[in-house]
Every structure is written in C-alpha cells, then in structure tokens.
C-alpha cells in the first residue's frame, strides 16, 4: 500500500501524485490539512523518514512564527503537537510505502521507495 499525505494546492504535492500515477501506482490520498495525522502517526512517519520533528517543520508558515516554534528548547513532543494542531506546518508531500517514507521535494525523491 502506498499513501501520499497530499495538499492539492501545493504544486510539488500535485507533481508527486502525478509521478506516482505515471508509474502505475494508485496511492491512498490523505489530504492532511483536512485529516491531519495523529501524534502517533506523525511519530511513525518521522521514524520512517529518519527525521526529527524540527526537520519536518515548514519554517516559512505564519503559524511557525506565531507559535514561537523557533525556540530550540521546545521538546519533540511539543513540536509534534504543534504539527497535529496546525498541519500546515508539516512539510509536504510525504509518501509512505511498505514501512518507508520520503518527502517529494523534489518529487523524484519518492521513487527511491520503489527501487
């Protein structure tokens, strides 16, 4: 099963979805702004990405500044809670396939999951 955490308004997310479809995949599409992952799901995704919560944050979003997420003393749990509460903070798109994950920036990054 392949899943894409997708934002249809994001060009990279649309390009990544198109790339998956061009390769004959029919991924489960989760519009994560409407259906954000839970904290447990996000922790699992981070583990698959081999990333820290801070590395997954979109620093250019207004919510990043408003919530003071640039504070290096914030715990991973606090950063994950902020992403669950404000999913716009999650870097996108994320593709999950067979226990592995990749961020589609650039979209071709996700093809490594299928090699």
Here the CATH number for the domain that contains residue 47 is 3.40.30.10
| Mean pLDDT of all residues in 41-52 | 98
pLDDT at 15 over 90: yes
pLDDT at 73: 97
| Mean pLDDT of all residues in 75-95 | 98
pLDDT at 12: 96
Q: What is the mean pLDDT of the chain?
A: 97
Whether 49 is catalytic is no
Domain span at residue 80? 2-114
| Mean pLDDT of all residues in 6-25 | 97
| Mean pLDDT of all residues in 46-58 | 98
Please report which confidence band the pLDDT of residue 115 belongs to, taking 50, 70 and 90 as the band edges: confident
Question: Which one is catalytic: 4, 6, 7, 10?
Answer: 10
Number of domains observed in the structure of the chain:
1
Q: Which of 4, 1, 56, 2 is nearest to 30 (CA)?
A: 4
């Amino acid at each position: 099963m392949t899943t894409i955490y997708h934002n249809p308004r994001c060009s990279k997310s649309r390009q990544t979805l198109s790339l998956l479809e061009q390769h004959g995949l029919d991924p489960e599409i989760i519009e994560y702004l409407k259906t954000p992952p839970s904290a447990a799901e996000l922790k699992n995704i981070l583990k698959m990405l081999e990333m820290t919560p801070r590395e997954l944050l979109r620093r250019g979003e207004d919510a990043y500044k408003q919530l003071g997420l640039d504070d290096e003393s914030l715990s991973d749990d606090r950063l994950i809670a902020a992403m669950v509460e404000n999913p716009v903070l999650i870097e996108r798109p994320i593709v999950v396939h067979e226990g592995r994950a990749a961020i589609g920036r650039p979209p071709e990054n996700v093809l490594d999951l299928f090699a």
